[in-house]
């Protein structure tokens, strides 16, 4: 799938999902209005899972429920629509993507909101 030619993807990170690569440019408000609240809701759960796995609990991911996974898919889908406006949620669902790929995509999308990283010399909110 080719990115929208109107969107500058020259410095965008790339995420791999199901053997395909997708650019994740800085998000517009259209995407951020869905992505940011979704990430803020997911972060405590994902942090708890990461802590349990780091502590040696192989079942740490059992903290996730279906709603969490659906929200993760919604956030990734919305984040990808900046560069791929024709990508449907069903297109994303049909990718043979591994769970670690979904998590990596969430991380890249979070950075592209601008909310979770400070610009050079600035603190968040400036």
DSSP per residue, 10-42? TT--EEEETTEEEE-PPPPHHHHHHHHHHHHHH
Taking the C-alpha atoms of residue 107 and residue 120, their distance in angstroms, rounded to an integer, is 20
14 strand-pairing partners: 23
pLDDT band at 122 (very low <50, low <70, confident <90, very high): low
Better-scored residue on pLDDT, 21 or 58:
21
- Per-residue pLDDT of 89-105, as tens digits, reads 999 999 999 988 999 99
The CA–CA distances, whole Å, from 67 to 38, 78, 114 equal 11, 16, 25
**pLDDT of 119:** 56
- Per-residue pLDDT of 15-56, as tens digits, reads 999 999 999 999 999 999 999 999 999 999 888 888 888 898
Q: What tokens appear for 25 in the block?
A: 């440019």
Lowest-confidence region among 37-51, 60-74, 79-93, 105-119: 105-119
Taking the C-alpha atoms of residue 2 and residue 86, their distance in angstroms, rounded to an integer, is 10
């Amino acid at each position: 799938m080719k990115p929208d030619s109107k969107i500058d993807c020259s410095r965008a990170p790339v995420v791999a999902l199901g053997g395909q690569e997708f650019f994740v440019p800085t998000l517009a408000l259209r995407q951020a209005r869905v992505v940011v609240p979704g990430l803020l809701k997911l972060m405590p759960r994902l942090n708890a899972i990461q802590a349990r796995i780091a502590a040696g609990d192989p079942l740490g991911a059992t903290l996730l429920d279906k709603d969490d996974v659906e929200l993760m898919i919604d956030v990734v889908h919305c984040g990808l629509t900046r560069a791929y406006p024709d990508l449907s949620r069903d297109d994303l669902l049909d990718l043979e993507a591994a769970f670690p790929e979904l998590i990596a995509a969430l991380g890249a999308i979070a950075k592209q909101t601008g909310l979770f990283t400070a610009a050079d010399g600035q603190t968040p909110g400036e």
